[in-house]
Amino acid sequence: MTETAPATATMTPSTRDGSHHVLVVTDVTAGYGPVPIIHNVDLRAESARLVALIRPNGAGKSTLLKTIMGILVPRNGSIMLDDTPVHGLRPDQIVRAGIGYVPQVGDVFDHLTVAENLSVGGIIAKKSREAKREEVLTLFPVLAPRLKQRARTLSGGERRILAVARALMGSPKLVIMDEPSAGLSPRAMNLVWEHLEILRNDGLALLVVEQKAKAIMAIADWVYVLVDGRNALESSGETMLANVHDLGRIFMGQQLTLNTERVVPEGE
């Protein structure tokens, strides 16, 4: 998958400024039954970059994340984490290999405190849990005064931040998030975005599925659009945002070009 306008290409096969490909998904087909939901999907995530996967509903975004996490086994294609194949591994093995997952539901344990949630996330920590917790609290100071608070009493934004912090306790190379802003007020959403940017600046690779397309385009380095389980479009967040008025038609299959971007017709 390539981008034809060099001026807008912020992610390339050979990376710039020290970032590197952490996740490379190639030609992946997967689904729940005999009929695949995602077809021959390609996707890349880089260190210190935020990659977003946006609308439309039912396109197969969550299915792709579940396939990356080993919840579904791909029928063909490869999923490489730092040049090591992870397709075919169990979800717990994939977490240990270095992918943190923040699902849309069930992201934290409601009845446990903030400290206990972090502790559960640290079961696979490569350094001592205490040291890792200090590191995570330094990144996300909003959690520090709330360690003894039960997760169910947190605000929506604080809860999502705890979910991300919990994923970080395993020292992942890549964090995958399914709709981090779901159900949040604009203020809470901003709090979550700010924390994603902190993680990116800290060198982590981020892959985020998001319904709030414009908001995520504004901060994403690279954006993918899947339509009917296939790669339909990809570009820098900036370019996608500048062409946002065309996206509705692309989602409906009415238009297959977006200025300088390469568009993959169905079936290719």
Ligand X SMILES: Nc1ncnc2c1ncn2[C@@H]1O[C@H](COP(=O)(O)OP(=O)(O)OP(=O)(O)O)[C@@H](O)[C@H]1O
Footprint of ligand X on this chain (CB under 6 A)?
Answer: 32, 37, 57-63
Instruction: Please report, as ranges, the residues that interact with Mg ion according to CB under 5 A.
Output: 62
> Residue 128 CB, nearest distance to ligand X (Å)?
37
> Residue 54 CB, nearest distance to Mg ion (Å)?
11
> Residue 139 CB, nearest distance to ligand X (Å)?
28
> Residue 136 CB, nearest distance to ligand X (Å)?
28
**Residue 240 interacting entry, from Mg ion, ligand X, none, C-beta within 5 to 8 Å by type:** none
Nearer to Mg ion, 62 or 255 (CB): 62
Integer-rounded Cα radius of gyration of the chain: 18
| Cα–Cα distance, 38 to 240 (Å, whole number) | 22
**Residue 32 interacting entry, from ligand X, Mg ion, none, C-beta within 5 to 8 Å by type:** ligand X
Nearer to Mg ion, 209 or 258 (CB): 209
**Residue 58 interacting entry, from Mg ion, ligand X, none, C-beta within 5 to 8 Å by type:** ligand X
Nearer to Mg ion, 125 or 213 (CB): 213
| Cα–Cα distance, 261 to 239 (Å, whole number) | 9
Nearer to ligand X, 118 or 226 (CB): 226
> Residue 90 CB, nearest distance to ligand X (Å)?
18
**Residue 5 interacting entry, from Mg ion, ligand X, none, C-beta within 5 to 8 Å by type:** none
Nearer to ligand X, 87 or 132 (CB): 87
> Residue 64 CB, nearest distance to Mg ion (Å)?
9
Which residues are CB-neighbours of 199 under 8 A, at least 6 positions away?
139, 164, 168, 175, 206
Nearer to ligand X, 140 or 222 (CB): 222
| Cα–Cα distance, 236 to 48 (Å, whole number) | 15
Please report, for residues 32, 87, 122, 246, 252, the alpha-carbon distance to residue 79 in angstroms, rounded to integers and kept in the order given: 18, 5, 25, 31, 29
